[in-house]
Structure 1
Amino acid sequence: MTAKRKIAFHLNCLEQGGAERVVSNLANQFAKEGYEVLIATQWYGENEFQIEKEVKRVHVGLTEEDEKKSRIWQFVARILHLRAFMKEERPDVLIAFAQRANYRALMASFGTKVPVMISIRTDPVGHYDAISDKIQIPLLFPRAAGCVFQTEGQREFFAPFLQKKSRIILNPLHDKYIGTKKPKQRTKDVVQSGRLVDFKNQPMLLKAFIEVHKKHPDYTLKIYGGDSQDGTKEILEEIIEKNHAEDYIQLMGASDSLEEKLADAAVYAFSSDWEGLPNALLEAMALGLPIVATDCPCGGPRTIMKDGVSGLLIPIKDQKALEEGINKLIENPEYAQQLGDEARKIGEIANSKAIFEQWRDYIEEICSKGKR
């Protein structure tokens, strides 16, 4: 390759979330490697991930005039704005992240000769199986030049034509989570990190920990994560108040220094009912935390953890199993440390350099095929 390529990412915004984190990290890395990088987004969020000054951010969302028109027009306008961006910038490839961005990019690509890679970032069940999806997927997904999945479970949901032209690539870990010092002594904290949101089933975690606390009254539960505004925070506060648990269950809010706040915890408890590939779990593993995690669809935890080796996997929505898992790790600190030491090895395969190279090689493969 004699000249670096021009690559563009497309997603709704850069507000702090899993897909947004991956795009921000990848865009920054590609820019540092000398690629010309653009990020085309629908809107600007209040609390966004930072991108390097070399990365060009382009607004392809609705204009003030569009906002005054019908929903049908707004749907069309989003596609037209993205199409205009693709025709003007002529990237070597456009990489779309998440459901609506995937559909929008494939629709906008007609007549542009720009290859589109799509990326599935969540459990397809419940997100890619509505009537509208069953219409759009057969019409649009054959146009994709390639597809990136996070887990085998995601890939198996889709038809063979998409599976054959796909890759499974883990999310990249931020360097600050890799190579941290092993704590000399662990605190008596059980922790979780992630937004307060319904599918993470934090109410189950609170109820399980209330039972754990009866057996281990010197332990506390701390949940680090911002409010998603879906009512979950209020549910959690009600559980805490009802059980007079204010002294031992704390909602800590969002934090930018989790690598420090989580590192010496006794247990990391993951309670989600479904996820894509959870960044929070990857980070907890890289920090070497003893982990008990739900084996949730579409197989994210199972993709990166081995039950009984690098953590404990339990069934989803099983409060008793979560309680027993936390107790087991509290009561068997040497075993818990063994799990944590093994979990830490995730940094060897999910570090930013390794993941960047997988994306780079796949992008180069797609571009070299010349499928425009």
Structure 2
Amino acid sequence: MKARIYRLAKQVSDGGIRALGGLRGSWTAADGPALLPAVPAQPVPLPRNADQLPADFRALFGHGIALAERRVHRLHRAVVSWHGVVFQHLRLFLPSVWATPRLPPEFDGTFLLRQWLGRRHDVATAEVVGLAHGPWAAGNYYHWLVDTLPRLHLLQRTHPGCPLLVPEPIPAYVRQTAAMFGFERLVPLPAGAVARVPELAMPDYPAPSGFQDGSLSLASRNRVMEALGIAGFAGQRRVYVSRSRQRLRRLLNETAIEPLLTQYGFETLYFEELSFAEQVRLMTETTVLVGVHGANLTNMLFMRPGATVVELMNRSTHAEVFNPCYYYLANALQLSYYCLPCQGTSGEDHWQANNSDLEVEYAALQRVFANIFPSDF
């Protein structure tokens, strides 16, 4: 009963605050010239094994998306939440969440009261402070490398070396990559806090969540490789990256496919055992990467054009479960992409299904390998 009363009270409060903010109109733009032009939607190649996919699953691929103009916004006296959401006087700055269209309601209503009532962390500097991370980049390897590094690339063009807001705790790869783009002065934002920033510079997202701007992704890759002293791509390694030591999305019959992996010359590796630099170097030496959907596959960012990625993916076609972000990333990086739908083991709950452990069909994986390595079969 108390929970129902609380939810009702929150709905009423959210609605009232949302209405007050709406009286002032949408907050969608600030000072700053466009750095990148709009790009019309382009068709995206289907997975290389599209003819072997179930028809309803295959229909989910191939859809491109248009990109709007992108700029670095300048905002005065902005309030920034720990997860990179910008707001001010009961209005949400929509470009700070636009890449994640399902999120704005979460950061609306009573959330906006944190400007006055929340845990504050004032930024005491007259310098322009940069913001490049979004709601999902805090502690998330994919969203930092794929969404945030391109934004750092844009921010560097207008405000090189400025102090940079980052959420705590700060992983080593965040410190390393920020420095690679010239941002060594990090301003930590404690979890749950909001910061008052006198002068803020915030780049647009390069693309909506799950999509990428290929040119910016390649530029980010090149910057990281250059900073690590990696001159180019070398080697012919075949890597299966295992999630067996993770809590989510493990391949339950991994042992059953070990003979097949051995037959085709794959190494089984655990990326959590490797430093960021070691992962990058490994990928520059890899021509075929196989793995279950998850952050491990982000490292395809450092594979040579023309290399191959095989993603083991939950066969569910539900919108809350199907996530083709690595399919789009592979195409943005000019990689050959294969998708193998696998049977999930969790129930009907969408969150559980999204993080479900999987089982791959041995014969289906064998068919994919036969396509990739016709001379080995």
TM-score, normalization: structure 2? 0.28
- TM-score of the two chains, using structure 1 as the length reference: 0.28
